[in-house]
Amino acid sequence: MITQPVIETKKIKVEIHTPNLRIVGYCHLPIEAYRGRLTDLLNEMGTSFIPITEAEVYRRDSDKPFTKMECIMVGKNFIEAVLPIGEEAI
């Protein structure tokens, strides 16, 4: 059996805006210095989607989530803004 190496990550709470949705949840970044920033995740070549865990999905015109998902893959091409929430926003 082939096993993948385990990479330690930090959970960053984010709010993502797309043309029709607002998604609040967590992205996971490597703890290591290289590729450990939110901007690195967004600019990473070769990946078209960003996984967001513990996601609450809102319509842009609503403050009430219309669904909650354990994990959602957000297409980078649709992202208009990403806002860190909490300590990461400082």
Question: Tens digit of pLDDT for each residue in 6-17?
Answer: 778 889 999 999
In this prediction, residue 45 carries a pLDDT of: 83
Question: Tens digit of pLDDT for each residue in 54-78?
Answer: 999 999 999 999 999 999 999 999 9
Question: Tens digit of pLDDT for each residue in 23-41?
Answer: 999 998 887 755 568 888 8
pTM: 0.83
In this prediction, residue 50 carries a pLDDT of: 93
Compute CA distances 26 → 11, 13, 75, whole Å: 6, 4, 15
| 44/59 Cα distance (integer angstroms) | 27
Residue ranges of domains in the chain, CATH in brackets: 9-89 (2.30.30.100)
CB atoms within 10 A of CB 67: 10
- Which residue reads 């901007």 in tokens? 39
Using DSSP's 3-state secondary structure scheme, residue 75 falls into strand
